[in-house]
Copies of this chain bind each other. A is one copy, B any other.
Amino acid sequence: MLSKRAKYALKALLALAERPREEPVRIADLARDQHIPPKFLELILLGLKNHGILQSRKGKGGGYLLARDPADIYLGQIVRMFDGPLAPVPCASQTAYVPCADCPNEAVCGVHLAMKAVRDATSRILDGTSLADLRRQMDDASPPLPID
């Protein structure tokens, strides 16, 4: 299950990726446009900033802006930030591996085999898709009206 936190983070980042890089966007505006509880979004954006995904400007005309090129921000990083490892079980995680206390032989464990496959497939998608990639997909899905 994707947490609300991660979902809101992705929505906010995608909204930022759509606009010109240098214009800060206020929390309040982002919250209104994306239907996110403002105070909750505040927390989330702060987290993204502390992880180097966002920058912020204080005072009048301030707000948040992307710290990196959207093509260098991958969905996997965002999801992991808020929801932890992609793997359904710790023993199948690449980034946060923890063995099962009870499992005598991982290589022969059915749960491990199946969940490793799920993890790999998930990673292939989320670690292989950048904000820019996803924006492109979104734009392809709603092509601009032809000028006739």
Contacts and interface: CB of A to CB of B under 8 A. Distances in A.
Given A108-B141, A113-B138, A138-B110, A1 B2 contact: no
A48 interface: no
How many A residues are at the interface, by size bracket?
35 or more
A113 B137 contact: yes
A109 B138 contact: yes
Contacts of A75: 114
Interface in A108-128: 108-111, 113-115, 117-118, 121-122, 124-126
Which has the most chain B C-beta neighbours within 10 Å: A1, A109, A129, A134?
A1
A10 interface: yes
A10 B115 CA distance: 11
Nearest to A117: B125
A11 B104 CA distance: 13
A74 to B, nearest CB: 11
Interface of A: 1-2, 7, 10-11, 14, 34-35, 75, 88-89, 102, 105, 107-111, 113-115, 117-118, 121-122, 124-126, 129, 134-135, 137-138, 141-142
